[in-house]
Structure 1
């Protein structure tokens, strides 16, 4: 994670999640973003430019990840660590659904870009953010006899009134080629969208998609030790048996799981417990057989039951029994 801002070369990290897997991978993405935010804000340098690289977090459809408490509070001080966030949402309703009505997401955004919206609440919020302008209105009043060759009195009055720069209806009717840019401390800007794929000055600067090659990449960073490598534990050798390592039998079918210590060709001993099991395997509709099985099972002593469970070549399921 530290290589994002302190690496020898600039690094781009892409986390692309298909829409069908958002709900399933949401906890993992939330954990990654939370770890990045906490790891890169541990040490405050004298100047954000003292770090090798500046970091831009571009989160498309970020309300779909749910509420990120640390991310909401860290937006206020991430700029001091050389980190900026580019958040994209469809409407304010998505943000309020994830972070509540009184959230600090928009309060910590220095630049806000808005397009034509279909939501009335979002349009009204944008209209209020644009502010008002002073509009001058003139009124003329005519006085005199209607049959006179000219009117005796003409009165003109002018007054200044406040009007919204854009009403909510005008915000919803913005053309597809225009956008609104709101910057803290500056007047709002009504700009024309610049599509990079339509402008030759930008289309020439777009790099082609990289071609993935087999094997290791040339710019792959050197592997480093981690803090958790020394805590790796191997399974206990006493719990690993040869039969557990075999996946299938010779005939291709799945191998039945056996208890540890039970031989492959162990021949069960015929006893009271075996007779009870054999009786229970008789016809289900035979009421007399069921009654005999219950009587024999109740007549078994705990030692007999334990002896029946302790079959095998080693007899180590219940130590000390059957030896």
Structure 2
């Protein structure tokens, strides 16, 4: 029904209510006065009952009020009540018309979510990661789905999203903490119930992690070593396809790592670098040594590892110049581990990947790298995250025989700075089934596109998206499109008449349905500093307020001094686990 028809119907209903009310009062008054002759002749008879004209009440009231004041007072009250009832009907009709005007969906039906819808979606429960505030209540997500936030620098993503979440999450967590701020603010509270480890390969006091000791001896060793080599030959995460030198150096690194694990006392990436560039022998002699070492056999029945022998023989069959080029390429990928501080940080394991989900207590791992060393140490951080992601998605969480003790949260602030992690992009689609949640934060869509390409699946696999006021037009346009389009009714008035007339003879009002984005890109870029947008799949968008942990006593009470780092063995670490390689040396 159109608004015009509703208006006509509204007027008709109001008039009918008033007429019926007055007519009823007239008939009641006539009955009380026993239909006396002075009342005049009835309008007509209905089933023997005299029916008077509705307005007769007012004539009788004027002439006979002095003779029956109580009757006319009650009749007047009855007639007046019909007027109030008509007003109520008019208000109800206006509300109905306004509601219909607001529910027009010709061009789209986008709108903001109501508090009831947000509560029904479970976003106001007292558990989960923090998204913001809504009507002075915490907005949280406790589902297994991933969260993605677009927040420019200095917009409050740390104080509003990262810190509140880390000060409430009681499971294991991996925190990409470039400046170390989150360690200072949250590690004190988290150390009360979890192992708190700071991994900073540029700090001698750092917790140590040796990627090679996560290689599982046996049927899985080849794929584990190949995964390590994949990251080593793509330190920036920018390769779409490898050239000849990178492919050949990848094969060399796989063979060299396996040889070091089986034959060398020091089983580290630093040792792989020194083994390949040993000044005491030529590269050809090094390759020859790889083909003659007893990796798998016994003293009476020596046996070379077939993958090691194959990698070495492949290079021995090449010319010296080509071998030199392959070695130079491989050594360029291992240059980071020649740094003594980095070599120390990767010399052994103070924690193992299994400790994240199956340890006696949860484990909080802070990946802290000074901004000055981000580019240099990126390959190592990428290697750690890649190993964790691949290892923890090898068995389903639902296996009752292998249930995990702790949920894992990957809080990756500025995650595009890590470069493209192919496995991570793919794994987002199924990580949730393994008890792993990701909380990804980027400054803009351009950052994500630069690292993962235009047609990436990062946003597609994030069930919850948070957007602050954007400084980037492309991000603002993407957010505006995601909010959707609403349909509005716009009124147009046309006035007709003589310009000198005291009034206009014609006023015509027409209403037209038009499409309008819920927020235009410009409005997204002009969001107040206190506002944010939360988009949850299957729910209308939410316009919420930002959190500020320092304005909330629930969080400030949990900000405790960070654990003191000292030289020597790391203090707060889980019990060591066997690795299968320590102590094995072959000749």
User: Shorter chain as normaliser: what TM range?
Assistant: 0.5 to 0.7
**Secondary structure of the corresponding residue to residue 102 of structure 1:** coil
Using the TM superposition, name which of 75-84 and 44-53 deviates more: 44-53
User: Corresponding residue for 1:2?
Assistant: 354
Residue equivalent to 1:96: 449
User: Whole-Å Cα distance in 1 between the matches of residues 576 and 546 of structure 2?
Assistant: 43
Alignment-derived partner of residue 227 in structure 1:
580
TM-score norm. by structure 1 comes to 0.68
Q: Offset at 1:90?
A: 1.0
Q: Distance in 2 between matches of 1:45 and 1:89?
A: 29
CA-to-aligned-CA distance 1:126-147 (integer Å, 9 cap, x gap): 1111112222211111122223
Partner of 2:389: 37
Residue 61 (structure 1) aligned with residue 447 (structure 2): no
Distance (whole Å) between structure 2 residues aligned to residue 58 and residue 16 of structure 1: 13
**Cα distance in structure 2, aligned partners of 1:176 and 1:142:** 43
Partner of 1:109: 462
Tell me which of 13, 20, 23 is aligned to 2:365: 13
Q: Report the Cα offset of residue 215 of structure 1.
A: 6.1
> Which deviations, in whole Å up to 9, do the C-alpha atoms of 1:140-176 show, x marking residues without a partner?
1112222333222111111221211111111111122
Q: Any conservation in 1 of the 2:397–2:435 contact (CA below 8 Å)?
A: no
Residue in structure 2 matching 1:22, options 341, 363, 374 = 374
215-224 or 6-15: which moved more? 215-224
Cα shift readout 1:214-245 (whole Å, capped 9, x = no counterpart): 76666532222212225345xx7xxxxxxxxx
**CA shift at 1:34, angstroms?**
0.6
Note the C-alpha offset of 1:194.
1.1
2:479 counterpart (126, 150, 162): 126
Alignment correspondent of 2:560? 207
Q: 2:509 aligns with which of 156, 163, 170?
A: 156
- Root-mean-square deviation (CA, aligned residues, Å) is 2.1
- Unaligned ranges ≥5, structure 2: 1-352
SS of match in other structure, 2:409: strand
The C-alpha deviation readout for 1:261-301, integer Å capped at 9, x for no partner, is xxxxxxxxxxxxxxxxxxxxxxxxxxxxxxxxxxxxxxxxx
When residues 73 and 116 of structure 1 are mapped into structure 2, their CA distance, relative to the original with a 3 A threshold, is same
Aligned length: 234
Q: Offset of 1:119 from its aligned partner?
A: 1.0
- Structure scoring higher RCO (CA < 8 A, sep ≥ 6) equals 2
Is 1:178 matched up with 2:531? Answer: yes
Equivalent position to 1:81, from 427, 434, 448: 434
Bigger drift between 221-230 and 66-75 goes to 221-230
Which residue number corresponds to residue 301 of structure 1? none
User: Whole-Å Cα distance in 2 between the matches of residues 111 and 60 of structure 1?
Assistant: 16
Aligned residue for 1:110, secondary structure, equals strand
Stretches of structure 1 that go unaligned for 5 or more consecutive residues are: 237-323
- The separation in 1 between residues aligned to 2:535 and 2:397, in whole angstroms, is 30
- Secondary structure in 2 aligned to 1:112? strand
2:550 is aligned, of 197, 208, 212, to: 197
In 2: Cα distance, 1:232 partner to 1:87 partner: 42
Q: Give CA deviations for 1:182-201 in whole Å, capped at 9, x if unaligned.
A: 11111111111111011122
What SS does structure 2 have at the residue aligned with 1:137? strand
Distance, in Å, in 1 between the alignment partners of 2:495 and 2:451 is 60
1:72 aligned counterpart, secondary structure: helix
Contact 2:497 2:505 in 1 (8 A): yes
Residue 37 of structure 1, CA deviation: 0.4
Instruction: Give the secondary structure class of the aligned counterpart of 1:197.
Output: helix
Q: Distance in 2 between matches of 1:7 and 1:74?
A: 23
